[in-house]
Amino acid sequence: MTKFPLSELLNSLPKQFFAALTKKASQFIEQGYDVINLGQGNPDQPTPKHIVAKLQEAAANPLNHKYSPFQGFSYLKQAAVDFYMREYGVSLDPDKEVAILFGGKAGLVEIPQCLLNPGDTILVPDPGYPDYWSGIALAKAEMVTMPLREENHFLPNYQELSSDNLADAKLMFLNYPNNPTGAVATKEFFEETVKLANDHNICVVHDFAYGAIGFDGIKPLSFLQAEGAKNIGVEIYTLSKTYNMAGWRVAFAVGNESIISSIELLQDHLYVSLFGAVQEAAAEALTGPQECVRELTRLYEQRRNVLIDGLKAIGWEVTAPKGSFFAWLKVPKGYTSEEFSTILLEQAHIMVAPGIGFGSFGEGFVRVGLLSSEERLIEAVSRIRSLQIV
């Protein structure tokens, strides 16, 4: 068989961090070990029944067996508008300020290609979601990292950015509640971000994937709640986490109409919109009963408490996350994040994500998902205790 070489573009893409992580754990599973997978961000609960029922009903409708409108059905855009008004008090124009996405990741990878030219600068959080890097590589842009430090509550300190960085930057990624740290943003931080973006003509993209998941009575803020935010940026909201629709691949971007227009232009050349039945189900999720969301958040908070309390009880000094479904835990002294992750996998058969996989400032931490039952989390704590290294 002839083997055709990859293009330079594909060869320039970063390695898929989570794919390598999963492959390593799979090797132990194939050998018969009981691996507790706390390393990935794949929701473990089913999609709520009323959303599934809407999909089943809509799938039987012959109108949904045809190509959908290129830029999505207007009813789904209106559902996103209604959702933002209900949840955040943010007013949006469904015709100009909403773009339907093929999952949140697609939008995050597309936006650098929409707005950047080769060599342009983008500001990216470190640690951060690795797939940000994919869109940057595809756009052939240059990445400048913004360290997220514990002493600053895992918010970037804009004072650390040089005048050249700010002058060159055209785009900035933010993500709160944060993956991987579980930190949440404040109103003051978002207001500071809007001012910085206005002063330096920077487009802000806020990844709001975990927007529904806040703990201890905290409701995470939308970036668009900050005055003027809609003028300088967009927010990407996925249904994957809020409604356990990870496999459905449906999300939306809202905000600045020029950015929304650029996303839709690129997608016109890539797709012919989402299956209509998925769009109907997504609209039902956004506008239908919301008790399922509140129940899900309570579930994650209970799991967080079980994990954090258990780890503290065995002597591991850890901090509870304020949002998302991840815990960001300091590695015991004497180990790198990869070394500690390897020990947990090989000796305790627990899979976690080493912090270095999220950027250089992720070193010294591991990310643990709250996506297993309380019983499995308790079992994980017991296995870690038996190692006697924390």
SS3 letters across 112-126 = HHHHCCCCCEEEEEE
pLDDT confidence of 330, banded at 50, 70, 90? very high
- Is residue 93 predicted with pLDDT exceeding 80? yes
- The pLDDT tens digits of the residues spanning 139-196 come to 999 999 999 999 999 999 999 999 999 999 999 999 999 999 999 999 999 999 999 9
- Is residue 25 predicted with pLDDT exceeding 90? no
Q: Name the segment(s) of the chain with CATH classification 3.90.1150.10.
A: 8-46+292-387
- Is residue 329 predicted with pLDDT exceeding 90? yes
Q: What is the pTM of this model?
A: 0.95
Q: Are 343 and 387 in contact (CB under 8 A)?
A: yes
- Is residue 16 predicted with pLDDT exceeding 90? no
- Is residue 21 predicted with pLDDT exceeding 80? no
The b/e string for 342-363 (b: 16+ C-beta within 10 A; e otherwise) is ebbbeebbbbbbbbbbbbebbb
Give the least confident one: 29-38, 101-110, 172-181, 228-237.
Answer: 29-38
CA-wise closest residue to 171 among 196, 147, 190: 196
Q: Read off the tokens for 294.
A: 């509140």
pLDDT confidence of 325, banded at 50, 70, 90? very high
**CATH homologous superfamily, domain 8-46+292-387:** Aspartate Aminotransferase, domain 1 (3.90.1150.10)
Which pLDDT belongs to residue 14? 86
- The pLDDT tens digits of the residues spanning 260-294 come to 999 999 999 999 889 999 999 999 999 999 999 99
- Is residue 87 predicted with pLDDT exceeding 90? yes
Rounded distance between C-alpha atoms, residue 157 and residue 146, angstroms: 8
Which pLDDT belongs to residue 300? 97
The b/e string for 61-80 (b: 16+ C-beta within 10 A; e otherwise) is eeebeeebeebbbeebbbbb
- Helices marked H in 116-220 — which ranges? 131-139, 163-168, 187-200
Q: Please give the share of the chain, as a percent, with pLDDT higher than 70.
A: 100
CA-wise closest residue to 111 among 265, 333, 275, 222: 265
Rounded distance between C-alpha atoms, residue 86 and residue 110, angstroms: 28
pLDDT confidence of 370, banded at 50, 70, 90? very high
- The pLDDT tens digits of the residues spanning 28-63 come to 889 988 999 999 888 999 999 999 999 999 999 999
Which pLDDT belongs to residue 74? 97
Tally: H helices and E strands in the chain? 15, 12
pLDDT confidence of 20, banded at 50, 70, 90? confident
- Is residue 223 predicted with pLDDT exceeding 90? yes
Which pLDDT belongs to residue 19? 75
- Is residue 64 predicted with pLDDT exceeding 90? yes
pLDDT confidence of 126, banded at 50, 70, 90? very high
Q: Sign of the CA dihedral 92, 97, 99, 103?
A: negative
Average pLDDT for 227-256: 97
Mean pLDDT of the chain: 95
Average pLDDT for 65-83: 96
Give the least confident one: 2-16, 84-98, 370-384.
Answer: 2-16
Rounded distance between C-alpha atoms, residue 97 and residue 75, angstroms: 14
- Is residue 231 predicted with pLDDT exceeding 80? yes
Q: For domain 49-287, is the CATH number 3.40.50.1820?
A: no
Which pLDDT belongs to residue 261? 97
- Is residue 17 predicted with pLDDT exceeding 80? no
Q: Name the segment(s) of the chain with CATH classification 3.40.640.10.
A: 49-287
Rounded distance between C-alpha atoms, residue 335 and residue 337, angstroms: 6
